[in-house]
Amino acid sequence: MRATDLHSFFIYVFFGYFFIFPALCIALKLFNIKHPKQRKSLYLMVLIAPFAGFALYHTVLEKRCQTGLLPGGLFWVYFEALCNIGKAAISFLAPLLVLLIIVGLLKALAGSIYLWRTQASSLEPTKEERHRVESIIRNCCRRWRIAVPRLIFTGQRGFAAFAAGFYRPVVVVNTFILPQLTDAELAGVLTHELVHIRRKDMLIGWLLHLLRDMMIFTPFSTILLDRYMLERERLCDLETAELLGSQRQYAATLLKVWRLLLDRQQLRPGFFANFTGREREMEQRVTALLAGNEQKAALPGYLFSMLNSSMFVMTILFLGLIC
């Protein structure tokens, strides 16, 4: 791949989403897909499809024929015009893309600094409270056969608990919630964060935010990432509720913790997987939990795989026709 090939990145992203985003909306509505795992997979596939097309057409498919058309005629004029548009756009966007990659790396550094400062100002809870937290975490980690993450207690405002760390996971717990939650409620909070760690959501989330930032010139990337993050939380909620044995009880825990945070003037940190998440998502998450088995409805595996792969392949073929 040459530097001059970067113009097709702009074309694939800009025009690719105009093709695949409507297809996604139609598929979700037509097949009535409600399961968060399947919805998350679709959003992820759509989000990365332009990147995949760009990588394929400049590596293994580099020597492809230009869609079988001879270099002449009306279609070739359109192709050449699109390429010129891409070259003009990328000449302005290239410095910005480099800057956004640097900013993404700085975000990871800022997250590490935030964790370091949180640990430096950590609070020591009572022996009973520490034992409650450590017991729940050890039991979950033993059941899932994963390493026990570091545990930090803090008195900072704005969150109940959050998970952080790409390679050495950390669970940060706010001491103010410990005396106000029952053992079952505390288990819900901590299990939610451990599910994030087991799924490596922090690393995946950072990478997807970096990809989204590189596609800042299209609004579709932000919409898709926001919906992906919502389905990620819904899937985490669903798995946590199944482990606890009651979706309604877990929904009540979400609402209780949210009320406690509002009483203390919520201020959500932006770098990590936070238990309560975004304010506008809370209603959707609780509603989904209270819906019971409705959110568990899923397409048969073979049908969903065919749908997902068909949308991906059709998008790649469409991108190849453009440039």
Convert the pLDDT of each residue in 169-208 to its tens digit.
999 999 999 999 999 999 999 999 999 999 999 999 999 9
Distant-in-sequence, close-in-space partners of 17: CB < 8 Å, separation ≥ 6:
46, 50, 218, 220, 221
Residue 159's pLDDT is 85
Q: What is the mean pLDDT of the segment spanning 229-234?
A: 93
Number of independent structural domains in the chain:
1
The whole domain housing 248 covers 3-322
Percent of the chain topping pLDDT 70: 86
User: Mean pLDDT, the chain, as a whole number?
Assistant: 84
pLDDT digits (tens, 9 = 90+) for 93-144: 788 888 888 988 888 888 889 888 888 888 889 999 999 999 999 999 999 8
Quick one: pLDDT at residue 85? 75
Query: Which of 8-17, 115-124, 273-282 is predicted least confidently?
Result: 273-282
Is residue 7 exposed (0-12), middle (13-18) or buried (19+ Cβ within 10 Å)?
Answer: buried
Q: What distance lies between CA 140 and its chain's CA centroid?
A: 23
Q: How far is CA 53 from the centre of its chain?
A: 21
Q: Is pTM, for the whole model, over 0.95?
A: no
The pLDDT tens digits for 161-175 are 999 988 889 999 999
The pLDDT assigned to 38 comes to 94
